[in-house]
Structure 1
Amino acid sequence: MSPNRRPLLRLSHRERVPRHEHPHHQVAYPSHGVLEVSTDAGTWIVPPHRAVWLPAGVAHAHRAHGPTQLRTVNFEVGVPGFAGPAVLAVSPLLREVVVALTGRDDLDARRRADLHRVALDELREVRQLPLHLPTPADDRLRAVADALTADPADGRTLAEFGRAAGASERTLSRLFREEMAMTFPQWRAQVRLHRALVLLASGRPVTAVAAECGYAGPSAFVHAFRRAFGTTPARFRTGADAR
Structure 2
Amino acid sequence: MLAAGTLDALPIKCQSMTEIRHQPAAPTLVRTLVPGAAIDAHRHDEHQIVYAARGVVAVTTGRGTWVAPATRAIWVPAGTVHAHQAHGELELHLVGLPARDNPLDLTDPGVLAVGPLLRELILAYTRDPHDDSPPRRRLRAVLLDQLRTSPQQPLHLPTPRDPRLRALCAILHANPADNRTLATLGPLVGASDRTLARLFRTDLGMTFPQWRTQLRLHRALVLLADDTPVTTVAHACGWSSSSAFIDTFRRAFGHTPGRHHRLP
TM-score clears 0.5: yes
Q: Which residue of 2 aligns with 1:125?
A: 149
SS state at 2:153 partner: coil
Equivalent residues of 1:195, 1:213 under 8 A apart? yes
TM-score (norm 1): 0.93
Q: Which residue of 2 aligns with 1:229?
A: 253
Task: State which drifts further: 81-90 or 25-34.
Answer: 81-90
Moved segments of 4+, more than 6 Å:
none
Q: Which residue of 2 aligns with 1:83?
A: 107
Residue type of the alignment partner of 2:83: A
Q: Which residue of 2 aligns with 1:51?
A: 73
- The CA deviation at 1:99 is 1.1
SS state at 2:145 partner: helix
Give runs of aligned pairs for residues 1-243 of structure 1, distance below 5 A.
5=27, 7-79=29-101, 80-81=103-104, 82-104=106-128, 107-239=131-263
Counterpart-to-counterpart distance in 1, 2:180 and 2:53:
37
**Structure 1 pair 196–58 and aligned structure 2 pair: CA distance change class (3 A):** same
Deviations 1:54-87 (A, max 9, x none): 1100000011001101011111112232221111
- The CA deviation at 1:231 is 2.1
Deviations 1:26-58 (A, max 9, x none): 111110110011000000101124211111000
- The CA deviation at 1:104 is 3.2
SS state at 1:21 partner: strand
- The CA deviation at 1:106 is 8.3
Task: State which drifts further: 123-132 or 227-236.
Answer: 227-236
SS state at 1:57 partner: coil
**Structure 1 pair 105–18 and aligned structure 2 pair: CA distance change class (3 A):** closer
Task: State which drifts further: 73-82 or 98-107.
Answer: 98-107
- Unpaired stretches in structure 2, ≥5 consecutive residues: 1-23
- The CA deviation at 1:205 is 0.5
- The CA deviation at 1:200 is 0.4
SS state at 2:259 partner: helix
Equivalent residues of 1:48, 1:238 under 8 A apart? no
Equivalent residues of 1:37, 1:61 under 8 A apart? yes
Task: State which drifts further: 200-209 or 220-229.
Answer: 220-229
Counterpart-to-counterpart distance in 2, 1:188 and 1:4:
33
TM-score (norm 2): 0.86
Residue type of the alignment partner of 1:232: T
SS state at 2:154 partner: coil
**Structure 1 pair 9–172 and aligned structure 2 pair: CA distance change class (3 A):** same
Residue type of the alignment partner of 1:235: R
What percent of counterpart residues are identical? 50
SS state at 2:44 partner: coil
Equivalent residues of 2:26, 2:47 under 8 A apart? no
**Structure 1 pair 95–227 and aligned structure 2 pair: CA distance change class (3 A):** closer
**Structure 1 pair 227–96 and aligned structure 2 pair: CA distance change class (3 A):** closer
- Structure ranking higher on relative contact order (CA contacts 8 Å, 6+ apart): 1
- Unpaired stretches in structure 1, ≥5 consecutive residues: none
